[in-house]
């Protein structure tokens, strides 16, 4: 955790885009960054958006494994993450296949997000 980053967030930002923090360390890191931002002189009493990138998991045949990819969502939501970016998503140039893949992704995301809201 970097005091300079906290000062920049306090002065110029309204949230935090995390980098290279494991899921298991996310809650502690978010709490510490919030504390550092407050110490740096800005309240941020209310919403403090936190963005994290997750990497798409894949089956042995190369297809996206959305169930495995989004399994971390409840843990991240509990830690205080508000936004997720998905990296390394594999898709094709075929619009029908891409539409099917997108529907599967959205269904799995919704299922994982529902688990996060239930406290799963």
Domain count for the chain: 1
Query: Rounded CA gap, 90 and 106, in Å?
Result: 15
Token output for 42: 């800005």
At 12, is the pLDDT very low, low, confident or very high (cuts 50, 70, 90)? confident
Query: Rounded CA gap, 108 and 27, in Å?
Result: 23
Domain that holds residue 67: 3-118
Measured torsion, CA atoms of residues 76, 79, 85, 88, in degrees rounded to the nearest 10: -40
More confident residue, 42 or 58: 58
At 41, is the pLDDT very low, low, confident or very high (cuts 50, 70, 90)? low
| 8 A C-beta contact, residue 74 and residue 111 | no
Check pLDDT > 60 for residue 94: yes
Residues sharing a CB contact under 8 Å with residue 6, sequence separation 6 or more, in sequence order: 33, 36, 37, 39, 40
The answer to whether the pTM exceeds 0.75 is: yes
């Amino acid at each position: 955790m970097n005091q300079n980053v906290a000062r920049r967030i306090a002065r110029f930002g309204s949230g935090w885009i995390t980098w290279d923090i494991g899921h298991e360390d996310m809650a502690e890191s978010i709490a510490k960054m919030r504390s550092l931002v407050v110490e740096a002189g800005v309240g941020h009493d209310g919403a403090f958006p936190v963005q994290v990138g997750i990497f798409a998991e894949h089956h042995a045949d190369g297809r996206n494994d959305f169930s495995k990819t989004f399994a971390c969502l409840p843990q991240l939501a509990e830690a205080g993450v508000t936004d997720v970016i998905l990296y390394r998503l594999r898709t094709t140039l075929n619009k029908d296949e891409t539409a099917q893949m997108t529907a599967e992704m959205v269904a799995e995301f919704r299922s994982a997000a529902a688990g996060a809201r239930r406290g799963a």
